[in-house]
């Protein structure tokens, strides 16, 4: 009797493993991820199955998240056509400068319905000590609404300074809507969120985390950092709301934090507003519709600046990993120089191949990564990719002054990217991310100069010394790479 019971258990076990493997094969887009999950489920079945259902379910494919601001299909088609025509007209007006960037512009327009927008003012904000004074000033000037969405918002001096202004504006009658990631901003879940709500701020977590073990809710995180004020001014970039992002001696931070953010004024704000409203309707279960307050008519807005801006976003709510595709396209467009800063570098084959092709084709490719990392496993996996890049001629710099958290890319001194997306699997496949693409030589030059200052505080990896590293160290990094699609 016992033997038959054991046979039955084994049969059930084999069927479950087989079914999970079939689901992984059909459900996972990336070959390397598919292989990693299959190996995990086959070699460590119980743990592997739990891990896959916690971290590996493809929510983009399964449409768990939806992004639909226009519920009237006819209106949605009309808006889509208007966006496409607007981008085409903007492109025609600056065709000489934009001609080489045409594929990138129209790919983002078609994939994201994100128009190429002219007449923007763009200001680079380096580090939290430069960002937050601008943010507080802009928040205090709000007249109609404030929309704020952050991955990390902490209940500390920096967070409370922003909280104070939000409460003040809400009491003045300004509509304040606040989305926070329930995992990244867990320090505000109890006290600060209640204080804000009691003061009239409309505040919701993005996918509430009930138990830490509900990892599927933790895995698909809202990594965006967006502020939109009155539909005409916005902030986007890598800097969260926390003391550690501010290099102020009074805050006694242990590590210097190097980061980059943008302030945008003009029509480039519209798509950031669109993203916020989509995220708001999802997490607040509302049907907040577009109106002239959220999207101020062009006729009432004077020409603000001369910068062309396009926003690219992706996440489990998007049809394609548009952030990844945009990065690949920018790498492919580079003819002379490509400067990349990223705190987490687990790029996958497509990015690696694009960088190698660019470097072997004569493009000067420079990559700035942290010398000090907050994750030994992620750092080891990242280093496993360096061999092929160094052999192709890519120069890799490890930042020594502190922790570099900026996510930037500059191509040929003409195209710049600043945003929330790291160059890793998590940003490409799992998180809700947003990047701003700026087509402007002045902004590119400023960011390029910042990059040159940063690499003056970095150690350049010597290829000969790198390849001569101890075998054990190389083995550990190659082993970490095996699980890099799961990090």
Active site residues: 223, 225, 230, 405, 407, 412
Q: Which residues pair with 263 in a beta bridge?
A: 123, 235
The answer to whether residues 115 and 93 touch, using CB atoms and an 8 Å cutoff, is no
Q: What are the angstrom distances between the C-alpha of 379 and each of 37, 257, 334, 348, 480?
A: 21, 18, 27, 15, 9
Crossing angle for the helix pair 157-171 and 191-198, to the nearest 10 degrees: 20
Strands (E) located in 221-335: 226-229, 233-237, 257-258, 260-265, 307-314
Backbone phi, psi, residue 385, to 5° = -90, -10
* 294 in Cβ contact with 229 (< 8 Å): no
User: Can you give the length of the chain in residues?
Assistant: 487
Q: Which residues contact 263 (CB under 8 A, 6 or more apart)?
A: 122, 123, 125, 134, 138, 233, 234, 235
Backbone phi, psi, residue 60, to 5°: -65, -45
Looking at the chain, the number of H-run helices and the number of E-run strands are: 20, 19
Contact criterion met (CB below 8 Å) for 88 and 80: no
Phi, psi of 400 (to 5 degrees): -110, -20
């Amino acid at each position: 009797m016992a033997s038959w019971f054991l046979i039955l258990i084994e049969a059930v076990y084999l069927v479950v493993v087989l079914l999970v493997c079939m689901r992984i094969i059909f459900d996972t887009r990336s070959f390397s991820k598919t292989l990693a999950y299959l190996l995990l489920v086959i070699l460590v079945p119980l743990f592997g199955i739990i891990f896959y259902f916690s971290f590996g379910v493809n929510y983009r494919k399964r449409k768990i998240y939806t992004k639909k601001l226009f519920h009237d299909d006819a209106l949605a088609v009309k808006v889509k056509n208007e966006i496409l025509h607007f981008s085409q007209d903007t492109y025609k007006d600056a065709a000489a400068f934009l001609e080489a960037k045409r594929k990138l512009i129209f790919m983002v327009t078609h994939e994201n319905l994100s128009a190429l927008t002219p007449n923007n003012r763009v200001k680079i904000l380096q580090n939290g000590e430069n960002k937050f004074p601008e943010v507080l000033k802009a928040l205090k000037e709000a007249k109609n609404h404030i929309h704020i969405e952050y991955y990390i918002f902490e209940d500390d001096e920096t967070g409370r300074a922003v909280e104070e202004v939000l409460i003040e504006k809400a009491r003045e009658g300004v509509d304040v809507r606040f989305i926070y990631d329930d995992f990244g901003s867990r320090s505000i879940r109890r006290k600060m969120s209640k204080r804000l709500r009691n003061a009239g701020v409309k505040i919701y977590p993005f996918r509430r985390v009930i138990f830490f073990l509900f990892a599927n809710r933790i895995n698909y995180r809202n990594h965006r950092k967006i502020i939109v004020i009155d539909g005409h001014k916005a902030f986007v970039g890598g800097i969260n709301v926390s003391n550690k992002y501010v290099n102020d001696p009074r805050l006694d931070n242990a590590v210097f934090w190097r980061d980059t953010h943008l302030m945008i004024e003009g029509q480039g704000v519209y798509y950031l507003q669109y993203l916020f409203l989509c995220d708001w309707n999802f997490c607040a279960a509302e049907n907040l519709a577009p109106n002239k307050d959220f999207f101020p008519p062009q006729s009432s807005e004077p020409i603000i600046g001369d910068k062309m801006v396009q926003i690219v976003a992706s996440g489990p709510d998007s049809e394609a990993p548009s952030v990844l595709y945009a990065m690949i396209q920018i790498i492919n467009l580079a003819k002379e120089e490509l400067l990349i800063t990223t705190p987490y570098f687990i790029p996958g084959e497509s990015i690696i191949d694009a960088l190698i092709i660019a470097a072997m084709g004569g493009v000067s490719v420079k990559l700035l990564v942290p010398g000090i990392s907050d994750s030994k496993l992620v750092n080891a996996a990242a280093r496993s990719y360096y061999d092929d890049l160094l052999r192709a001629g890519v120069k890799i710099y490890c930042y020594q002054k502190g922790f570099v958290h900026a996510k930037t890319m500059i191509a040929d001194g003409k195209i710049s990217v600043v945003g929330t997306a790291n160059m890793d699997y998590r940003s490409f496949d799992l998180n809700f991310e947003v990047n701003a693409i700026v087509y402007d030589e002045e902004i590119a030059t400023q960011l390029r100069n910042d990059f040159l200052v940063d690499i003056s505080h970095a150690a350049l990896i010597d290829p000969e010394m790198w390849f001569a590293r101890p075998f054990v160290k190389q083995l550990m990094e190659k082993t970490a790479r095996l699980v890099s699609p799961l990090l």
